[in-house]
Structure 1
Amino acid sequence: MNPQNAIGIFDSGFGGLTVFKSIAQKLPDYNYIYLGDNARSPYGDHSFETVYQYTLECVEWLFQQGCPLVILACNTASAKALRNIQQLDLPKKYPNHRVLGVIRPTAEVIGNFSQSKHIGVMGTRGTVNSNSYPIEIHHFFPSVEVHQQSCPMWVPLIENGEHLHAGADYFVEQYIHQLMHQSADIDTILLACTHYPLLVPKIETYLPEKVRLIAQGDIVANSLTDYLQRHPEIEGKLAKTRQRIFYTSGEVSVFDQHASVFLEEEISSLKIKI
């Protein structure tokens, strides 16, 4: 039995669990349904059209489970699908539902962390190629210089459980070096993929001392808290019985094993076909 009137949280795989964890810690009373589209992940190298199609299918599935609000806890989906869903699909088919992403709330605050006004953004190819972060950040911080670096090997390393092994060091060092080579003035790096917090211990090993590393979980959780306070018409639809359920389109045993690493607790998921 699904929890009623839950907040839906969607990701292409496991990474959104880092956002879910922060949101659930900040807002523990609400009901949650998490969906990982692991059978079709990673989304990072798919076209805009494919990511939009996949994301919309998952959002609509969460709507069907009774979620009036869905969080795209996935940077690629937020970059490639959110605008179309908000502007094309919700007004026509789901006017009483809301879908939020992770890029805008991050862009609204990330400039506050930088003294030099040079920020590095590390993400998937899809997120970097979309140019969503430079565009959004410049809306709020016009004087900030944004330097981007795609890290195509990081998600596969994490999803295959290799991220803490010695073999991951080469790719961590390589991408950090490529980013810092763009500007010696970078003093803040945004991890613009929700998988990447699992690599923080290794990333910090290769960062210059002056550079601050920012993950998105707490930023998104704080933004959602503010959103619910400002939108009582949405908040009033959400039940608060502390129920949580996890779904995956992939293999349950694999999802549960990886999810326990992301969440630092054991879970039991259910499999669906989208």
Structure 2
Amino acid sequence: MNQQPIGVFDSGYGGLTVLKEIIKKLPQYDYVYLGDNARAPYGTRSFESVYHYTLECVQWLFNKGCPLVILACNTASAKALRTIQQNDLPKIAPGNRVLGVIRPTTEKIGDYTQTKQVGILATAGTVLSESYIIETNKFYPGVTVFQQACPMWVPLVENNEHNSKGADYFIEKDLNALLDQSKNIDTILLACTHYPLLKHKIQQFLPEGISLLSQGEIVADSLEDYLVRHPEIEERCSRQGKLAFFTTDSPADFDAHATIFLGRKTHAKHADMDEVKLTKKNARGFHS
């Protein structure tokens, strides 16, 4: 059987915080990480743009042989995952699978709250999609979800300003805006993969008794469970503990930032999305 790596996709660097936890949990598998840094951030882009960009990147990872792709990006999971799963996957790779980070999180989030009131800190795109409200309601109908967009948080992290005093203003402002929506919120989810780097800052402004959750460990646990339940996919995943990193922008710039998120050095290569577009064009011409 032809075995290939698991693909992990993010609009930029943030997905590396998820990959870090996946590697801790499942170090035996091979992984290919793709960051669409040239078109980041996704958080402020339209649903249509996010969908097209995400689909191109998923196709690129399929072309690398990945039988399973994890969208380690909340915005892509919110705006593109369902359409790709339902409409595109049956056409382009019916034997492959694409998973996101929202469903695994919402399957568990209700277990953490006693008051049944949960806060979500996310990008504007994720908040507008209302994906966390919709998905949480499926698993925990009695839980109320409050959301707050934090548009400055990703730029702070990517410009290495997340430890600065300037970051305090925006963190306190957005956190207060969330908590002002309800005094009974006892669990807050960092629904953006960049935000774990701000966790220590957030906790400085967080009242006692409120749990602060990151997605990485939850997603890693969910992936382990998925592979157990789907041996037909697990058997196609190669197991040599290898890592490969690709970016649609500058590999040198990617490597300079990646250490902050992953905790180890990377040696990224450039990924050309024009190859995917060319393949699609040729395919249309062939079938016409």
Classify the TM-score, shorter chain. Answer: over 0.9
Show the 5 A alignment for 1:149-164: 149-164=148-163
Match in the other structure for 1:10: 9
Aligned residues: 272
Amino acid at match of 1:230: R
Alpha-carbon shift at residue 252 of structure 1 (Å): 1.5
Question: Is the radius of gyration larger for structure 1 or structure 2?
Answer: 2
Alpha-carbon shift at residue 271 of structure 1 (Å): 1.3
Match in the other structure for 1:165: 164
Match in the other structure for 1:234: 233
Q: Alpha-carbon deviations, 1:102-153, whole Å to 9, x = none? A: 0000000001000111100010000000000000001000010100000000
Match in the other structure for 1:261: 260
Amino acid at match of 1:45: T
1:114 counterpart SS class: coil
Match in the other structure for 1:191: 190
Alpha-carbon shift at residue 68 of structure 1 (Å): 0.4
Alpha-carbon shift at residue 36 of structure 1 (Å): 0.3
Match in the other structure for 1:121: 120
Amino acid at match of 1:191: L
2:240 counterpart SS class: coil
Q: Where does structure 1 differ by over 2 angstroms across 4 or more consecutive aligned residues?
A: none
Q: Alpha-carbon deviations, 1:16-58, whole Å to 9, x = none? A: 0000000011000000000000000000011110000000000
Alpha-carbon shift at residue 253 of structure 1 (Å): 1.8
Amino acid at match of 1:35: L
Q: Which moved more, 1:260-269 or 1:104-113?
A: 260-269
Name structure 2 gaps, 5 residues minimum: 274-288
1:76 counterpart SS class: helix
Alpha-carbon shift at residue 83 of structure 1 (Å): 0.3
1:167 counterpart SS class: helix
Alpha-carbon shift at residue 196 of structure 1 (Å): 0.3
Match in the other structure for 2:272: 273
What TM-score do you get using the length of structure 2 for normalisation? 0.93
Match in the other structure for 1:22: 21
Name structure 1 gaps, 5 residues minimum: none
Distance 2:166 2:120 in 1: 23
Alpha-carbon shift at residue 225 of structure 1 (Å): 0.3
1:89 counterpart SS class: helix
Amino acid at match of 1:166: K
Distance 1:73 1:220 in 2: 9
1:112 counterpart SS class: coil
Match in the other structure for 2:136: 137
RMSD of aligned C-alpha atoms?
1.0
Alpha-carbon shift at residue 200 of structure 1 (Å): 0.4
2:147 counterpart SS class: strand
Match in the other structure for 1:223: 222
Match in the other structure for 2:200: 201
Q: Alpha-carbon deviations, 1:161-200, whole Å to 9, x = none? A: 1111111110000000000000000000000001100000
1:148 counterpart SS class: strand
Amino acid at match of 2:253: V
Amino acid at match of 2:156: L
Distance 1:204 1:257 in 2: 27
Alpha-carbon shift at residue 228 of structure 1 (Å): 0.3
Match in the other structure for 1:210: 209
Distance 2:164 2:248 in 1: 27
2:137 counterpart SS class: helix
Alpha-carbon shift at residue 217 of structure 1 (Å): 0.2
1:96 counterpart SS class: coil
Alpha-carbon shift at residue 208 of structure 1 (Å): 0.3
Identity %: 60
Amino acid at match of 1:223: S
Distance 1:272 1:232 in 2: 30
Alpha-carbon shift at residue 263 of structure 1 (Å): 1.2
Match in the other structure for 2:281: none
Distance 1:21 1:255 in 2: 16
2:165 counterpart SS class: coil
Alpha-carbon shift at residue 93 of structure 1 (Å): 1.8
Amino acid at match of 2:20: K
1:33 counterpart SS class: strand
What TM-score do you get using the length of structure 1 for normalisation? 0.98
2:255 counterpart SS class: helix
